[in-house]
Amino acid sequence: MNKYLNQLVKLSEINKEIDAFEPRVQKINKTLSVASEKAKTANSDIELLENEIKDAKLKRAKNETLLGELGDKLKSISKKTSSIKSEKEVKALQLEEDIAKEQSDFANDEINRLEKVIELKEGDKVKAKELYVELQKAEEDLNVSMEAERNAIKDEMAAAYAKKDELVSKMSQKILSFYEKIRKWAHNSAVVPVRKQACYGCFMRINDKTNSLVFNSEDIITCPHCGRILYREAAEA
């Protein structure tokens, strides 16, 4: 392979290496944001449970107040009952007493139900808090390991750019701009191998003449179909 083509193949490899860094960084960011989102959700679950408990406690207190009032009412009814004579009044008081007792039963049931709700939600809250602590810890650990990964990528990137700078400084400007022109549309497949007499950029078969040129010529040969720079691989040669 001629020197210029050899440089182009190397440059193309380095550019591929450089372009592969961004998806790795994105993957790290994605992993971190997923972990952070999980912890946030767990935290809002705790808040939700706290609000539900607060609400149930408030309702319980209202029912307790009501129960107290109904107790007073029942006491006053029983006092009145002993002092009245007419049957009509007795009946009216009896009705009032029945209603108050029914309301008391209902308030008691409601308090019992709310007690159960509170107990259940308190249990859920404990679990949610444990989960939150766990997720927070996982997020912190992930931050540490991802930071190490980020630094590793930074080092690799610096090395790749240094390698590229060194190579480019030795290359001919004319060849470099020819390559960059192709790279604008072909991106990382600007320089491709020929395998089984096909261009590995557009995957079309190249004619015998071009194939022979790729294998024997000292010039830079491009694909007659797509215009990518072709080279022969050691194995194919």
Query: Is the separation of the CB atoms in 4 and 219 below 8 Å?
Result: no
Residue 201 touches Zn ion, criterion: CB under 5 A = yes
Residue 46 main-chain phi, psi, to 5 deg: -65, -45
- Per DSSP bridges, beta strands 229-232 and 191-195 are parallel
The residue among 46 and 227 lying less far from Zn ion, judged by its C-beta, is 227
The residue among 25 and 226 lying less far from Zn ion, judged by its C-beta, is 226
Distance CA 217, CA 211 (A): 10
Q: What is the DSSP string of 59-72?
A: HHHHHHHHHHHHHH
The stretch among 138-146, 149-157, 169-177, 191-199 that binds Zn ion (CB under 5 A) is: 191-199
Distance CA 40, CA 115 (A): 29
Give the x-and-dash track for 206-225 against Zn ion (CB under 5 A). -----------------x-x
> What's the closest the beta carbon of residue 222 comes to Zn ion, in angstroms?
8
Q: Which of 199, 214, 220, 221 binds Zn ion (CB under 5 A)?
A: 199
> What's the closest the beta carbon of residue 130 comes to Zn ion, in angstroms?
59
> What's the closest the beta carbon of residue 203 comes to Zn ion, in angstroms?
7
> What's the closest the beta carbon of residue 165 comes to Zn ion, in angstroms?
29
Residue 230 main-chain phi, psi, to 5 deg: -105, 150
Distance CA 145, CA 28 (A): 10
The stretch among 27-35, 99-107, 118-126, 200-208 that binds Zn ion (CB under 5 A) is: 200-208
The residue among 25 and 224 lying less far from Zn ion, judged by its C-beta, is 224
Count CB-CB contacts under 10 A for residue 1: 15
Residue 205 touches Zn ion, criterion: CB under 5 A = no
The stretch among 13-21, 50-58, 70-78, 192-200 that binds Zn ion (CB under 5 A) is: 192-200
| Of residues 36-75, those binding Zn ion (CB under 5 A) | none
> What's the closest the beta carbon of residue 215 comes to Zn ion, in angstroms?
16
Distance CA 62, CA 205 (A): 85
The residue among 63 and 189 lying less far from Zn ion, judged by its C-beta, is 189
Distance CA 237, CA 130 (A): 64
| 191-195 sheet: strands from edge to edge | 198-199, 191-195, 229-232, 221-222
> What's the closest the beta carbon of residue 188 comes to Zn ion, in angstroms?
14
Write out the two tokens for 163: 């390698």
Neighbouring-strand partners of residue 198:
195, 205
The residue among 135 and 199 lying less far from Zn ion, judged by its C-beta, is 199
Residues in touch with Zn ion (CB under 5 A): 199, 201-202, 223, 225-226, 228
